Amino acid sequence: MRDRCSSRLPSRSNRRCGISRASIHSVPTASPRPSESRLVRVLRHVLDVGLRHKRAVAAGTVVLLLLVCGGFTFVDQQFFPLSDRPEVMVDVAMPPGTSLDETSRAVAALERQIAGQAALRHMETHIGDSAPRFYLPYSPATPSTSHAMRLFVATDLHGREELIRAIEALPLPVEVHLHVQRFSLGPTVDFPVRTCRIVCPVQKQYGCLASV
């Protein structure tokens, strides 16, 4: 026997069977589950907004990508960046064959000129040798009577830069050479070599121009 109460029957028959038009065509709405956390509900809302505005989301992604690529031009390109340690390492180089006494006098003169700096917290000297490897990327120099190593510890990074400027501005004798270094996060390079381009005109034998 065919069921009289069917959705295919006319509306009058449906009303007699207790079925309304709204109950036939209504679709149940998805309600949030009570067990879902607040984070899941927020994520669901964000995904819903993103799917509804696909073009705006795609355009915003492209704009952010272009901004990031443009921001890389303002970042210093350095393979091993400088460390945030407040130490400053100064190598004192004298002419080969200099005795330890002469090297000690040159280092003592350097100490007297730097001792009054307000940014200086501590300093130590190694004459004829370098300091032990207290920092992994640091490479001690070969022992020599004409070499000394000064380690200055500043109060902070700003004080470190003040010490470097003060050391580089010191009046030194001709035979004394100072090499100031900051510590880096990788292997240190004592004297980095930059690209040098030498231009020599063909018609001139001398007078070459060098640009670095």
Quote the CA–CA distance of 59 and 36 in Å, as a whole number.
31
Assess whether 43 and 25 both reside in one domain. no
- The answer to the question of residue 93 being in a domain is yes
- The answer to the question of residue 94 being in a domain is yes
Assess whether 109 and 136 both reside in one domain. yes
Q: Where are the beta strands (DSSP E) in 128-207?
A: 147-154, 177-182, 197-199
- Measure Cα distances from 39 to 31, 42, 44 in Å: 16, 5, 9
Highest mean pLDDT among 67-71, 170-174, 200-204, 208-212: 67-71
Assess whether 153 and 120 both reside in one domain. yes
- The answer to the question of residue 97 being in a domain is yes
In the predicted structure, residue 76 carries a pLDDT above the cut 60: yes
Assess whether 22 and 55 both reside in one domain. no
Quote the CA–CA distance of 138 and 150 in Å, as a whole number.
14
For residue 90, which of 8, 194, 160, 17 has the smallest C-alpha distance?
Answer: 160
Assess whether 15 and 97 both reside in one domain. no
Domain total of the chain: 3
* Pairing mode of beta strands 120-127, 209-211: unpaired
Per-residue pLDDT reduced to its tens digit, 45-57:
999 998 999 999 9
Task: Give the CA count within 13 Å in the CB-facing half-sphere of 58.
Answer: 5
Per-residue pLDDT reduced to its tens digit, 28-44:
445 556 677 888 989 99
> Which pLDDT band, with edges at 50, 70 and 90, does 195 fall under?
low
Assess whether 69 and 124 both reside in one domain. no
- The answer to the question of residue 11 being in a domain is yes
- The answer to the question of residue 206 being in a domain is no
Assess whether 107 and 125 both reside in one domain. yes
- The answer to the question of residue 187 being in a domain is no
Assess whether 1 and 56 both reside in one domain. no
The residue range of the domain holding 99 is 87-182
- The answer to the question of residue 132 being in a domain is yes
Assess whether 42 and 23 both reside in one domain. no
Assess whether 25 and 42 both reside in one domain. no
Assess whether 51 and 24 both reside in one domain. no
Per-residue pLDDT reduced to its tens digit, 152-177:
999 999 999 999 999 888 888 888 88
- The answer to the question of residue 212 being in a domain is no
In percent, the amount of the chain with pLDDT more than 90 equals: 19
Per-residue pLDDT reduced to its tens digit, 119-143:
899 888 899 888 888 888 788 888 8
Assess whether 106 and 174 both reside in one domain. yes
